[in-house]
């Protein structure tokens, strides 16, 4: 993290880019022009996503985020995200990314690789084909194949929040109410 002026922490968003248009509602649950893939970014200092509908335990949080072009955008909130990795063509065990910033103005999801290694005791192994994320000497938890542009995107899908509603009453049921 970089410190700017007196006690103002600015996160860095590495390879993120602006949304192609301003959303009419910054907390809109669906960002149709935003990517669904997670970019495994060594330049990002926090996890970020424009997708509000992925974030659990959401709470408002305004943090300045400096983009690669030196422009600054602000987060709207923070929460956790559940990711279902694909390993060797099969669905792996779900992982939860904590402290994910909701940044509606972005188009990209960034997995802060160095933040992950420092705060979650995850080892990262990189070869010509992929980045592999695992606990010390354990099997991979998730992988990020490296494409022809030298960018790595996590293999798997993010689980959206499922809202549940159940019947509720504020008074005890009584047949006399129906008379």
pLDDT for 26-54, tens place per residue? 444 444 557 899 999 999 999 999 999 99
Q: pLDDT band for position 16 (50/70/90)?
A: low
The residue ranges of every structural domain in the chain are 2-159
Q: 92, 15, 22, 85: which is closest to 48 by C-alpha?
A: 15
What is the structure's pLDDT at 26? 42
Top mean pLDDT of 5-9, 55-59, 64-68, 118-122 is at 55-59
Q: 143, 139, 160: which is closest to 38 by C-alpha?
A: 143
Judge whether residue 25 has pLDDT over 50: no
Q: What is the pTM of this model?
A: 0.75
High-pLDDT (> 90) share of the chain, %: 64
- Rounded CA separation 134/6 (Å): 37
Task: Say which residue the tokens 């992950």 belong to.
Answer: 116
Q: What is the mean pLDDT of residues 53-69?
A: 93
Q: pLDDT band for position 173 (50/70/90)?
A: very low
Q: 111, 115, 168: which is closest to 142 by C-alpha?
A: 111
In 47-95, alpha helices (H): none
Name, in order, each residue with C-beta under 8 angstroms of 15's C-beta and a sequence gap of 6 or more: 39, 41, 43, 44, 68, 108, 110, 151
- Rounded CA separation 137/49 (Å): 30
């Amino acid at each position: 993290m970089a410190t700017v002026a007196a006690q103002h922490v600015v996160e860095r968003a590495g390879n993120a880019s602006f949304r192609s248009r301003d959303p009419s509602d910054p907390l809109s649950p669906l960002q149709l022009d935003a990517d669904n893939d997670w970019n495994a970014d060594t330049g990002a200092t926090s996890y970020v996503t424009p997708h509000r509908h992925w974030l659990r335990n959401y709470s408002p949080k305004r943090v300045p985020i400096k983009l690669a072009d030196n422009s600054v955008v602000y987060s709207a909130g923070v929460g956790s995200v559940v990711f279902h990795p694909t390993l060797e063509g099969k669905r792996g065990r779900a992982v939860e990314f904590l402290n994910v910033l909701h940044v509606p103005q972005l188009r990209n999801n960034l997995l802060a690789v160095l933040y992950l290694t420092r705060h979650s005791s995850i080892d990262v192994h990189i070869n010509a084909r992929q980045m592999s994320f695992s606990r010390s000497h354990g099997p991979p938890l998730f992988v990020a194949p490296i494409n022809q542009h030298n960018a790595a995107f996590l293999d798997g899908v993010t689980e959206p929040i499922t809202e549940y509603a159940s019947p509720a009453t504020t008074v005890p049921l009584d047949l006399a109410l129906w008379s």
